[in-house]
Chains A and B, each alone.
Chain A
Amino acid sequence: MSERLVEVEVLRYNPETDSEPHFQRYSVSCEEEWVVLDALNHVKETIDPTLSYRWSCHMAVCGSCGMMINGEPKLACKAFLRNYEGVIRVEPLAHFPIERDLVTVIDDFVSKLARVKPYLIPKEDKPLSAGEYRQTPAQLKKYKQYTLCINCMLCYSACPEYGLIPKYIGPAALSLAHRYNADSRDGGREERAQEVAATEGVWDCSFVGACSEVCPEHVDPASAIQQEKIANMVDWYKEHLMPGGAK
């Protein structure tokens, strides 16, 4: 296995001692097949135990290692060092406040997730004895892709609208709302519309598409948002233009 000396420049911030963040450079002897997360782990284990960042699975499943790598939102466990030349700049996810070093404050995202009611709201309540809610493969296919989100928040970092309008509910939460809206067993679309059809819901999206480009799970949040826009537009015209449709 060949080794390579890699220079990583990491944004450091300690709220107890620093008035503002600054970069710190480390030289790390890395194996050819390492990812950025391996380099950070190596720094933490051998050079600087105070370096803080989130990670858990090391296999693009838990969604906790999102960070800006050379200015792009990436999963550190999926960003191979061999794809980078020169100094690699590592920063916390853009658009989120920094808690410490590469750790961000994610409360805004978590509360938005909860607001869209990301759970099944059954169309008809039936007793257990009536059996399971059945679904055909075609019905499953309608929303399956939107179940793959790992809540890594890369899409929020990539989205210029979220950067401009912090109230915007944002790609992952809206995709999750769509995941349930598109589920044949679900009847909660009208309830979710309180958030989804609001200005801060799908209508703050201007279809930049950056979310879909950076999503490591190919969820394609932009497509979910556009489908929700069309559905909500149809609802709006029905409510306002059809006789007796006004609510």
Chain B
Amino acid sequence: MAKSNKPLVWGPFAAGGTITAFVTPVLIVLTLLAALGYVPEMLGYENLRGVLAHWFAKLSVSVIIFLSLWSVAHRLRITCYDLGVRADALVAAALYLAAVLGSVAAVVYLARI
């Protein structure tokens, strides 16, 4: 049997899953802290904007956002299949496109900082 090309889409899915497993809980804690009014000096708006002015920070954040969105898209694709939506090619195209568009939007936004 021929080898599958699934690794192309699975690679970023696995990487994104691993990253979100670490990043998401941190983001939740920080958001909760911010909601309660505790914003450490270091994570203030001006400070973060300053950090994101650096090209390496822009690159890292873009990669993290792309991998996370891709991971969600891939997970949703499989969930759709398991729920009985068998138009896999269509579902895959729509979801992956959404992930790419989201990433492009993030890149555009970051580039303007």
Contacts and interface: CB of A to CB of B under 8 A. Distances in A.
Nearest to A161: B82
A245 to B, nearest CB: 13
B11 A233 contact: yes
A233 B10 contact: yes
Contact of A199 (B4, B8, B78, B81): B4
B59 to A, nearest CB: 20
* Interface core residue of B2, B4, B78 (most chain A CB under 10 Å): B4
Contacts of A229: 7, 10, 14
A64 interface: no
B29 interface: no
A200 B3 contact: no
Nearest to B78: A206
Given A164-B82, A206-B78, A232 B2 contact: no
B54 interface: no
Contacts of A203: 4, 6-7, 10
Contacts of B82: 160, 164, 206
Interface stretch (A28-36, A178-186, A189-197, A214-222): A189-197
A236 B1 contact: no
B14 A233 contact: yes
B: interface residue count bin: 10 to 19
Contact of B7 (A195, A200, A233): A233
B5 interface: yes
A48 to B, nearest CB: 39
A198 B2 contact: yes
A237 B78 contact: no
A203 B11 CA distance: 12
B14 A197 contact: no
Contacts of A236: 3, 5, 7-8, 11
B14 A230 contact: yes
B3 A197 contact: yes
A240 B9 CA distance: 13
B1 A198 contact: yes
Nearest to A239: B3
A201 interface: yes
A194 B7 contact: no
Contacts of B3: 193-194, 197-198, 232, 236
Interface of B: 1-8, 10-11, 14, 78, 81-82
Given A164-B81, A201-B4, 17 more contacts: A160-B82, A164-B82, A194-B1, A194-B3, A197-B4, A198-B1, A198-B3, A206-B78, A206-B81, A229-B7, A229-B10, A230-B14, A232-B3, A233-B11, A233-B14, A236-B7, A236-B8
Question: Which 9 A-B pairs give the minimum distances between C-beta atoms?
Answer: A236-B7, A198-B1, A203-B6, A233-B7, A199-B4, A197-B3, A206-B78, A203-B4, A233-B11
